[in-house]
Homo-oligomer: A and B are copies of this chain.
Amino acid sequence: MRIAQLEIHPAQLEAYKAALREEIKASLSLEPGVLALYAVSLKDNPTQIWIFETYAGKDAYESHLKTPHFLRYKTATQHMVKTLKLVEADSIQIDAKPM
């Protein structure tokens, strides 16, 4: 489990969100080891994006970083991201209804 906290340049916010949506859809449909990706923007400050990321394990995460869709997202968005902070976390209880 990891939380990515990003700040996006305001002028690029819509382009960034479109790229992120594509990346999340591709990751969930193509990678068995990507279990959940929750991306939200903060209501009081919409250029702040938080992404909750759940992987099956370390290997699944390492392999995710090498996929064409992740590399495409990373390249496309590198100049849109002002700051990026990664917070490592341990699961306490994760429950969700089927989507």
* Chain A residues at the B interface, C-beta cutoff of 8 Å: 1, 3, 17, 20-21, 24-25, 27-28, 34-44, 46, 49-50, 52, 54, 87-99
Which residue of the partner chain B has the closest CB to A38? B94
Q: Majority SS of interface residues in chain A?
A: strand
Chain copies in the assembly?
2
Which residue of the partner chain B has the closest CB to A27? B95
A36 x B89 contact (CB < 8 A): no
The distance from the CB of A91 to the nearest CB of chain B, in whole angstroms, is 6
Do A25 and B95 contact each other (CB < 8 Å), given the known contacts A38-B38, A42-B87?
A: yes
Q: Which residues of chain B have C-beta atoms less than 8 A from A17's C-beta?
A: 92
B95 x A40 contact (CB < 8 A): no
